[in-house]
Every structure is written in C-alpha cells, then in structure tokens.
Amino acid sequence: MGQNFYGKYFTFDGKTKELIIGSKWNSIKNDVYSRLSKYGNDGYIVFEAIYEANFYNVGKYKNYFPVLTLAKDKGFNGKGWREILSELQLARLIYPNGFRNLYINDEMRPLIEEILEEKRKKR
C-alpha cells in the first residue's frame, strides 16, 4: 500500500494508485479545525511545534521529544499530548514514521502555514 499525496492541485490515492485532479485541502483544513478545537490553544501549540521542528529546527526524524520540549516552551501544559498527536494523524497532517518521528510531508507545508497563520490572526 502506497502513501497518499495531498497536493494543492492534485491528490494521489496510494491504495488505488489513482491520480485525482483536485485538492482535498479544504476538507483537511476543516477536519483540523474540528479536531484541534477540542484542545483550545494547546492543540495549535503542539501543531506549530511539530511544524517548526520539521522545517526549521530538528528535522523530520527523531523529533518526538524535541517537539514536546518546543511545545512546552510555547506554553503547552502537557495534557492531551497523545490525543493531540492522534488527532493530527487522523487529520492526515502527520504520519507515523517510527515511534520517535512526527513527520510532515513537504507538500502539506503551504496548507499547514495557512492554518497556523489563520490561527495566529485569531489570537
């Protein structure tokens, strides 16, 4: 079974090997808002820490504990850590790539930046 690709203009279904013209970004974005709203700012703090670790800091591999430290530095209280990670995985934004890897695919970066920027404007 291959991995899905969720691009801005195309979607690839890794299971069926089908390339679809069109994006699922709006449904993913709505799913993220719905899932993370359960955790208040903590969900977005963890999400932002994962994003920063992947693209600016630690990298995509062996970043589990550094992400937790980054999140706590940003004000995360530590409650709901596993649940938030599960929600982000169910929303198709992070992928399990071994126990210590909170991995974000590069094609999702613009969508994640958009979600985080919208949240920053609301604070």
Q: Is 39 helix (H, G, I), strand (E, B) or coil?
A: helix
pLDDT for residue 88: 92
pTM of the predicted model as reported, rounded to 2 decimal places: 0.83
Q: What is the mean pLDDT of residues 91-98?
A: 78
Confidence at residue 71, expressed as pLDDT on a 0 to 100 scale: 97
> Rounded to an integer, what distance in angstroms lies between the CA atom of residue 22 and that of residue 9?
5
What is the three-state SS of 59-94? CCCCCHHHHHHHHHHCCCCCCCHHHHHHHHHHCCCC
Q: Give pLDDT, residue 47.
A: 95
39-55 pLDDT per residue, tens: 999 999 999 999 999 99
